[in-house]
Chains A and B, each alone.
Chain A
Amino acid sequence: MLVALSGTVLAIDNQEALEDSALQARYVRLGNELRCLVCQNQSIADSTAGLAADLRAQVREMLLDGASDQEILDYMVARYGDFVRYRPAFNIRTWALWLGPFVVVLIGLAVVATVIRRNANLDPEQPDI
């Protein structure tokens, strides 16, 4: 129960919500999308670190200035690198990160297929030893 409740208390909630609810929704989404580089396993929405607060302020300001989500993400990536995004853009530095798991699954499927095929070819009359 406590754990469930504490999960909803984020640093981002300490600030007054933006007047425009659509803007506030984008603000929260972007806050959860961006990594706090000091604490690393928290988003800037989540973290109480000074840097996270500064980055949140920056996101707010840019939203109020009419920046698009992409512009804000690009702004952060230009300064802090792909690592600042929890879901980095697919590019020359991140392709292995995105495709790696699928390659591993393909290798696994290939191994399974080979084993099955090999076992199927065994003579059923022969006892398994």
Chain B
Amino acid sequence: MIRTLVPATLFAILVVFFWTGLKLNPTQIPSPLIGKPVPAFDLPLLLDESRRITQDQLRGEPTLLNVWATWCVACRQEHPFLMQLAAATDVPIYGLNLKDNRASASAWLDQLGNPYESSAFDEDGIVSIDWGVYGAPETFLIDATGIIRYKHIGPLTEEVWNKKLLPRIRLWKGETL
């Protein structure tokens, strides 16, 4: 009995491990910032150097913070969906423009459209380090109290929006209504 049961159990455990491992994406590293308040920052706006944006703007209602750059190929792929999202929902999308050139980033928004409420201009990437950003695009979902609730790594898609972001936002709105 033990002779068959023990190897069978060990095998089953291995299968569970490998099966889980197959579905994990090693390039998506869970952020320790989930459940924490947004890191404090104070950056100039991309389109208006004289104005600044701080963590206080990401408060009062659920918001998205999208990390993007013109050098980021996947951001270009993601951009049409952000436009669609900005038109279809009332969730404000803030941009965090990462280590970019002000002129090319402005031109990008002129040509492709600007889905952002406003974009912060993080020229040296220090604020992005505080946010634990290690690539672009990345998108943070922030609740009305300014707590980071979810982070999506890679281009935002309709599927991610419908399955991961929207259900959370709906839940919060239901609770506060």
Contact = CB atoms under 8 A, between A and B. Distances in A.
Contacts of B132: 79-81
Interface string A54-75: 1100100000000000000000
Interface residues of A, number: 15
Interface string A20-45: 00000000000000000110100000
Chain B contact residues: helix, strand, loop or mixed? loop
Nearest to A50: B99
Given A50-B99, A79-B33, A81-B32, A40 B130 contact: no
A40 B26 contact: yes
Interface in B127-145: 129-132, 134-135
A113 B84 CA distance: 65
A77 B32 contact: yes
Contacts of B154: none
Interface residues of B, number: 17
Interface string B116-157: 000000001110011110110000000000000000000000
A38 B130 contact: no
Interface string A66-104: 000000000001111111000000000000000000000
Chain A interface helix/strand/loop/mixed: helix
Contacts of B33: 79
Contacts of A37: 29, 134-135
B30 interface: yes
Given A40-B26, A40-B27, A81-B30, A55 B129 contact: yes
Contacts of A40: 26-27
